[in-house]
Amino acid sequence: MKKFILKKEEPKIRPEDYSIPYSELLNNEQLKAVFFDKGAALVIAGAGTGKTRTLIYRVARLVESGVDPTEILLLTFTRRAATEMLNRASSVLDDRCQKVKGGTFHFYCSHILHRFADKIGFPDNFTIIDTSDSLEVVQFVRTSLNLHKKNKRFPNKSTLLNMISTSVNKHLDLRVVVMEEYPQFYEQIEKIEEVAKGYAEYKEKNFVMDFDDLLIKTKQLLEQHNDIRVKVASSHKFVMVDEYQDTNQLQADLTRLFSSVHNNIMAVGDDAQSIYSFRGADHQNIMAFPGLFEQTNIIKLEENYRSTPQVLMAANNLLKQASYKFDKELFSSKEEGELPALVQAPSEHDQSRFITQVLLQLREQNVELNETAVLFRNGRDSYDLEVELNRKNIPFVKYGGQKFTEAAHIKDVLAHVRVLVNPMDTIAWNRVLMLIDGIGPKTAQDLFEWIRLAKNPYDLGMADVVSKSYIKQMTSLSKLLQYLKKNDLSVSEIIDELVGYYRVFCEKRYDDYPKRLKDLEAFINISTGFSSLTKMLEELALDPITATAVETEEKEKEEAPLILSTIHSSKGLEWKHVFIIQCLDGIIPSAYSVDDPEQLDEELRLLYVATTRAKDMLYYTYPMLAQSVYGDYFTNPSRFLKQLDENTAEKWQLEEEHVESIGGSATNENLLNS
């Protein structure tokens, strides 16, 4: 009997039939994006224009219109961002929004690769290594090739890994990367290529992948297996990508592959906030999007809800200097504010004195310190200010620092987890074994060779290379691993057992072990949220916890601190008051960028990002006199500030307070107190 398949009709809902009053909650351009249904759309979302809000309501609208939420893919640059968006979409509509596929490119690619691992010659229990593990592998390869003993200076492990990763993310031959970015090492290019080859072979042999591999192998899988591409892409009726200006070429290719069946793709981003080329992000991706997808609809979000009109005027004037951009003009309905201040300080120290005095004035006006941020191009730009803040007892926090999963004691416990999941993980075994007294690199390597060939890799007491000096500790480790492997325990129960075993090592290795043990207790609690060890390793590798529990606990007890941050780390954040310091030629723009039009444009975008962090008041500051190893020299303010005329920014000149007599003084709000 011949069958005829009746296609399921798409539900048709009139705007007035929706439960959410979209037209009351969104402006016209946001509405266009939210109700966009078919084809490709590029949403150019200026700073503070409600980009996240637009994505949230589009998810809710699609689900409310009858789209199966599992057929919606939302790609973001952090898992946290995706989770928050879907939580907010659920609060707007209902829990159906939680079924939307959301996460990072790396996380979603990992999901695909685990599903089709056999097609790429990997077992489905392959592990993902983070940056510190990758560095260890590179060093292992470097050492095995005896390159650490070369008479001529050879790149260290960090430089080598950067070379390899840059080559992958920028789609450039390794030789080109070394020639353009590390010319001092080009005469050793053959040896560098040997390291890259050894690094790749190690990963293949031990069934591990780094972050770059997740993207590369997914792209290869989808391009080489058309049936899998169709299967994967068919499951995405709608694809949305957040922060598209930060994608690299691989991510742009994956976006095209993920949406290749239904062709319903929406990229949201701001070309003016593309500032991560050093991470491999390609500004050309967002500019080329309309050419990549036929009949792309361009929607511009220009109404800013963050900043005063005066701050936006400065931002718009800065952006006019960009040579390659989408034209847009940010505007705001907020009340008029003060003109941004263009502050010329006699010296760097005077710049620091000015900032601390303004901060103390704001404190007297009951403005919380954490409502203010000081932004800068490089971490070293704030050193003088940090000294002055300490002198004035003004608490501050500087963005950055060690991630939770990069702390040595956490990595030690995670190494035990990794050998349970993947007994062929050399780096993990090396870390586990070298905790034991008497086991060094050579012995650890010999033990791993036995483990690789053993029927039961966890029965370490049977290894013929085990010495009497550490047989007792090896037996304890062996019993623990076999017990954890054989018994059906929850993730938190396994972590609890491992922490109990590790406690003695922690107390022996670290003087501050009480704090570290608190971290480990917190880790046990964190582990309750994972359904499997594989899932836990995957999520912690792809989206690390950013601070230890101890650090967080201690900070919460203090006064909310002032924020010091590099401009790169400030993206996506906002404060009432913002200082942008060291606005000098040679710093912003960087001296290395002035001869490269593309890099110069990115430096301009960097200052634009910093400018648009301010809600109410903005200060551009720079010293007239700077210091170097060669002595003092006169500076030039950033060339980008020349676009800010008297109608856009008010010039401030700092002067020393002059006291003429007891009881009388010359004072001014813009003057420095002695």
- Are 418 and 428 in contact by the 8 Å Cβ rule? The answer is yes
What is the β-pairing status of strands 650-653 and 575-580?
A: unpaired
| Cα–Cα distance measured from residue 167 to residue 152, given in angstroms and rounded to the nearest whole number | 24
Nearest of 431, 423, 422, 417 to residue 523 by alpha carbon: 417
The predicted-structure confidence for 509-541, as pLDDT tens digits, reads as follows 876 677 788 778 878 877 877 888 988 888 777
Q: Which of 480-484, 565-569, 642-646 has the lowest mean pLDDT?
A: 642-646
Tokens 């058309």 map to which residue? 226
Contacts of 162 (CB under 8 A, 6+ apart): none
Q: What's residue 438's pLDDT?
A: 84
- Are 606 and 47 in contact by the 8 Å Cβ rule? The answer is no
Conformational region of residue 560, where left means phi above 0, alpha means psi within -120 to 50, and beta covers everything else: beta
The predicted-structure confidence for 382-420, as pLDDT tens digits, reads as follows 878 887 888 888 998 888 444 566 778 889 999 999 999
Cis peptide bond prior to 589, omega within 30° of 0:
yes
Considering the entire predicted model, what is its pTM?
Answer: 0.79
- Are 107 and 543 in contact by the 8 Å Cβ rule? The answer is yes
The predicted-structure confidence for 125-161, as pLDDT tens digits, reads as follows 898 988 888 999 999 898 888 876 655 678 888 889 9
How would residue 422 be classed by pLDDT, with cut points 50, 70 and 90?
very high
- Are 337 and 310 in contact by the 8 Å Cβ rule? The answer is yes
Q: What's residue 661's pLDDT?
A: 46
- Are 397 and 102 in contact by the 8 Å Cβ rule? The answer is no
How would residue 659 be classed by pLDDT, with cut points 50, 70 and 90?
low
- Are 396 and 597 in contact by the 8 Å Cβ rule? The answer is no
